[in-house]
Structure 1
């Protein structure tokens, strides 16, 4: 269990500092339903990350041949996922805003302030379980858990929950700031939102590059 948690933590950190979910929470905290929507989003984010990581880990573990050490196939799986992350990282880097050009704001952000709790939860599920960049990171986390805890369902379940908890820290941080400082948090959160939108592509490119290289290295070491 310890190995599954420890080896998946670097990937969980990548999910944790993914900019767009943090921006979504910041926007919700400036809406009329600030607390309700923010906590609904946090819950949806946790459930989506937990579900994807756990399903991937359990499916990968059950797909391993009984007569073969699973390290070999999980090594190839990590290499494939690592290469996919590098491709996405390259696309993010090439699509980054050029100096002097304002980063485009995703269209869904304009409607966040009018969201209901149900819509906030749905957005969290979409960003955590459907958005390609976050989905690829979470799938990588699930594959890492499966490789570290083959044939150990309880370890997979616990490691997946820990993975999701760590991945939620970034989304939970603006909520903690809001609850701790109240109205004084508005300026800080607004500056955080602007910075994350402007540097989203660069942050994601670096994250995906680092995690992709790590996965490829881990995969090569066991193939």
Structure 2
């Protein structure tokens, strides 16, 4: 189990620092239903990451034989995932806004103030489990867990740890709001502004670093 956690932890950290989910949650925390929508968002995120990651870990694990050698398909899967991450990273870096340029936010963020808890949870699930960039990271985490241990229970426990770490990025702003109340508006707004301004660079660097790691792991296992 330790190996599964160790292999997937860097990827979980990558999910943790994904800017857009954090920005979406901060916008909810300054809306009319801040507490209920924030909690619904956090729960929807946790469910999305855990369900998708666990399904990948268990399905990939079911295709793994009981011998001690790592199946060739595991290495090839990591190579494919690594190359995809590198592709997304290079594309994001090339499309990053020029220095000093105004960064536009997605149009759906303008309607967050009118969200219900159900919509908040649905948005979180989509950002964590459907959004292509995060989906690629969660799938990579599930694949890393499946390749590192033969035990189903160990895979589930490792995925729980993965989900907890991956959820800290949205859990911390919610914790700030709960502990500080209205006083949290200013620090949360600074977090939101910084995340929006640096979203493209953060995600590009993140994808490139993790892409190199996963690609290297895949090549080493062949």
Give the structure-1-normalised TM-score: 0.96
**Structure 1 residues without counterparts, runs of 5 or longer:** none
The aligned counterpart of 1:187 is: 186
- The answer to whether the aligner puts 1:81 opposite 2:81 as a matched pair is yes
The aligned counterpart of 2:216 is: 217
Counterpart CA distance in 1 for 2:67 and 2:181 is 58
Count matched residues: 222
Counterpart CA distance in 2 for 1:64 and 1:29 is 44
**Structure 2 residues without counterparts, runs of 5 or longer:** none
The aligned counterpart of 1:125 is: 125
- The answer to whether the aligner puts 1:112 opposite 2:104 as a matched pair is no
Counterpart CA distance in 1 for 2:202 and 2:142 is 22
Contact 2:79 2:218 in 1 (8 A): yes
Superposed displacement of residue 68, structure 1? 8.2
Counterpart CA distance in 2 for 1:66 and 1:14 is 30
SS of the aligned residue for 2:111 comes to helix
Superposed displacement of residue 11, structure 1? 0.2
Counterpart CA distance in 2 for 1:112 and 1:91 is 28
User: For each residue in 1:129-176, what CA deviation from the matched residue of structure 2 results, as whole angstroms up to 9, or x when unmatched?
Assistant: 1100000000000000001013x1101111111111110000011111
User: For each residue in 1:89-138, what CA deviation from the matched residue of structure 2 results, as whole angstroms up to 9, or x when unmatched?
Assistant: 01111111112211110111101111000000000111011100000000
Give the structure-2-normalised TM-score: 0.96
Moved over 4 A (4+): 65-68
Contact 2:65 2:71 in 1 (8 A): no
Contact 2:93 2:201 in 1 (8 A): yes
Counterpart CA distance in 2 for 1:181 and 1:107 is 29
Mean Cα deviation higher: 54-63 or 138-147: 54-63
Counterpart CA distance in 1 for 2:39 and 2:95 is 32
CA RMSD of aligned residues (A): 1.3
Superposed displacement of residue 70, structure 1? 3.1
Superposed displacement of residue 222, structure 1? 1.1
Q: What does residue range 116-195 of structure 1 map to in structure 2 within 5 Å?
A: 116-150=116-150, 152-195=151-194
